[in-house]
Amino acid sequence: MNSFPIIRVITKLLIPYILLFGLYVQFHGDFGPGGGFQAGVIFAAALILYGLVYGLPAVHKVAPPKVIEKLTALGLLVYAGTGLACMLLGGNFLDYDVLKHGILTENHFLPEGQHLGIFLVELGVGITVTAVMTMIFYAFAGRERVTS
């Protein structure tokens, strides 16, 4: 893709907006359509687009495979950890009502209770989906063509 300047320039222009849209879908998912899964895929799409146009070494600098591999597990741990935190606070597994803290909660400034639980859980889903999609792309793109 080195010889397509238009594609390279347009990609650089587009990627910030794709990432911003991913963040919007992630963190606005409890108010509008969206959520962790969709946001994760959009985020991974931005990384994959970068990898397609600029090549794998470039995208490996942005998101090193070792980090991505650990993020796959981290997202799941955030999800399950939220559930365990609820248990430690005296509720049932994933029963977010116990996650109340009462700090700066007017007008949903900081989430609490159910809202905080949903926020954390969606964050976990988003991290895992981003990492898995990116990792699958790395696995495919890192292989050579079967010749002979």
Please say which residue, 8 or 118, places its beta carbon nearer to another protein: 118
Name residue 135's amino acid.
M
The verdict on 18 binding another protein (CB under 8 A) reads no
Among 1, 9, 73, 104, binds another protein (CB under 8 A): 73
Q: How far is CA 53 from CA 21, 46, 58, 68, 108, in A?
A: 20, 11, 9, 20, 40
Contacting another protein within 24-53 (CB under 8 A):
25, 29-35, 37-38, 41-42, 44-45, 48, 52
Closest approach of Cβ 15 to another protein, in Å?
A: 14
For 122-131, b where at least 16 C-beta lie within 10 A, e where not — what string? bbbbbbbbbb
Residue 115 is a binding residue for another protein (CB under 8 A) = yes
Q: Nearest 5°: CA angle at 55, between 50 and 61?
A: 75
Nearest approach, Cβ of 21 to another protein (angstroms)? 10
Interaction between residue 19 and another protein (CB under 8 A): no
DSSP E strands: which ranges in the chain?
A: none
Q: Which is nearer to another protein, 8 or 94 (CB)?
A: 94
DSSP 72-111: HHHHHHHHHHHHHHHHHTTS-TT-GGG----SS-GGGSS-
Residues of the shown chain interacting with another protein in the complex, contacts defined by CB under 8 A? 25, 29-35, 37-38, 41-42, 44-45, 48, 52, 55-57, 60, 65-66, 69, 72-73, 75-76, 79-80, 83, 93-94, 96, 113-115, 117-118, 121-122, 124-125, 128-129, 131-133, 135-148
